[in-house]
Amino acid sequence: MLLGVLAFVLAIMSLREENSFKIFPYLATLSSFLVTGVWIALYVVGFLL
């Protein structure tokens, strides 16, 4: 879960770079957001059960 949060932070930081294709930082942000969301959902479901 911590790696997912770290990937999300790095993906947001990569959105500010000027010399890169814009599709890749957006894909990285979206995928890391989804992965982090899945980890949080699994944690919450495990905690409630």
Q: Would you kindly state where each structural domain of the chain is located, as residue ranges?
A: 2-48
Whether 1 contacts 39, CB under 8 Å: yes
Question: What pLDDT is attached to residue 3?
Answer: 87
Q: What are the pLDDT digits (tens) for 10-27?
A: 988 988 888 878 898 899
Question: What pLDDT is attached to residue 46?
Answer: 94
Question: What pLDDT is attached to residue 15?
Answer: 86
Question: What pLDDT is attached to residue 49?
Answer: 87
CA pair distance 10, 39, nearest whole angstrom: 17
